[in-house]
């Protein structure tokens, strides 16, 4: 399996942007962040001392539907916990995250949006970093499908997900917290435990337990997703600050 690829700041106009491509699920997401900006007509938000995170998920080949609305809420809630909206310049302002699905099959009505969720989350995280929005920590996310025979498949395609018994999207913060746990389908606690362990290995690279096939990270050269995010950022910083780093 081939690992994901990502680019930081591919766009010129917005304050921050990223593109994230996941070959396993086939999704290619372009993301942008504008922050801090004035949100017209929404100045008296519920939390006047904090920033408001707004998310838009724009499907690639279809009009906006309920599926986008569903993932949008999940992303918004998760990013809202990470953005430090009380830092200077941010209270009462908006952090506008726009995500466009520019590659991959569109999710048909009734199909699960969980397969797309990790790509959307990674793309928005990278765009937030590119826009230098203050964050308390970073995260990594993955989606796993459990087949009817009990096998766990990481980053399933839309077709695989359709045939699966259950789907699980999980995200872990860079400090190890479980940030997201969205499941769909029928499963028991044991299955979830196995899924959790496998997801933790894929995201953070911790060898999980004694179970042989679980501890084997299947992700490309075995690089955990957290490390991939870090490398993408480091590469870009090195390029942007080549004049400074080379000088020292």
Pick out residues in 180-199 that bind another protein (CB under 8 A): none
DSSP SS3 for 185: strand
Going by C-alpha positions, the residue among 178, 11, 160 that lies closest to residue 99 is: 11
CB of 8 to another protein, least distance (A): 8
Residues 51, 137: Cα–Cα separation, whole Å? 17
Pick from 53, 133, 144, 202 the residue near another protein by CB under 8 A. 133
- Establish if 115 lies at the interface with another protein (CB under 8 A): no
Min. distance of Cβ 49 from another protein in angstroms? 5
Rounded distance between C-alpha atoms, residue 227 and residue 159, angstroms: 28
Q: Are the C-beta atoms of residues 153 and 147 closer than 8 Å to each other?
A: yes
Residue 247 DSSP symbol: T
**CB of residue 213 vs another protein: minimum separation in angstroms?**
22
Distance CA 227, CA 140 (A): 9
Q: Scanning residues 141 to 180, which ones bind another protein (CB under 8 A)?
A: 157, 159, 173-175
Count of residues that bind another protein according to CB under 8 A = 76
Residue closer to another protein, measured from CB, 15 or 155: 15
The answer to whether residue 223 forms part of the interface with another protein (CB under 8 A) is: no
- Residues of this chain, 83-102, that bind another protein according to CB under 8 A: 84, 87-89, 91-93, 96, 98, 100, 102
Closest approach, Cβ 239 to another protein, in A, equals 7
Q: Which of 3, 7, 56, 214 binds another protein (CB under 8 A)?
A: 56
Q: Give 122's Cβ-side CA count (13 Å radius).
A: 32
| CB of residue 36 to another protein, shortest distance in Å | 7
Three-class HEC string of 19-60: EEEECCCCEEEEEEEEEEECCCCCCCCCCCCCCEEEEEEECC
Segment lying near another protein (by CB under 8 A), choices 29-37, 147-155, 161-169, 211-219: 29-37
């Amino acid at each position: 399996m081939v690992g994901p690829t990502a680019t930081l700041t591919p766009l010129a106009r917005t304050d921050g942007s990223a593109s994230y491509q996941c070959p396993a699920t086939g999704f290619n997401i372009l993301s942008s962040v504008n922050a801090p900006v004035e949100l017209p007509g929404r100045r008296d938000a519920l939390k006047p001392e904090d920033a408001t995170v707004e998310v838009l998920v724009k499907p690639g080949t279809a009009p906006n539907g309920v599926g986008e609305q569903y993932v949008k809420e999940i992303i918004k809630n998760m990013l809202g916990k990470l953005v430090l909206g009380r830092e200077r310049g941010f209270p009462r302002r908006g952090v506008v995250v726009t995500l466009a699905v520019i590659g991959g099959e569109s999710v048909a009505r009734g199909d699960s949006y969980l397969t797309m969720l990790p790509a959307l989350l990674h793309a928005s995280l990278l765009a937030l970093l590119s826009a230098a929005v203050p964050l308390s920590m970073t995260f990594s996310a993955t989606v796993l499908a459990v087949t009817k025979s009990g096998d766990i498949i990481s980053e399933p395609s839309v077709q695989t997900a359709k045939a699966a018994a259950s789907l699980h999207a999980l995200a872990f913060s860079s400090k190890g917290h479980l940030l997201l746990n969205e499941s769909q389908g029928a499963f028991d606690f044991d299955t979830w435990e196995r899924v959790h362990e496998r997801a933790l290995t894929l995201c953070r690279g911790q060898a999980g337990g004694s179970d042989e096939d679980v501890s084997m990270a299947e992700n490309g050269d075995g690089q955990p997703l957290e490390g991939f995010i870090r490398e993408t950022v480091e590469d870009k910083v090195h390029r942007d600050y080549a004049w400074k780093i080379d000088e020292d």
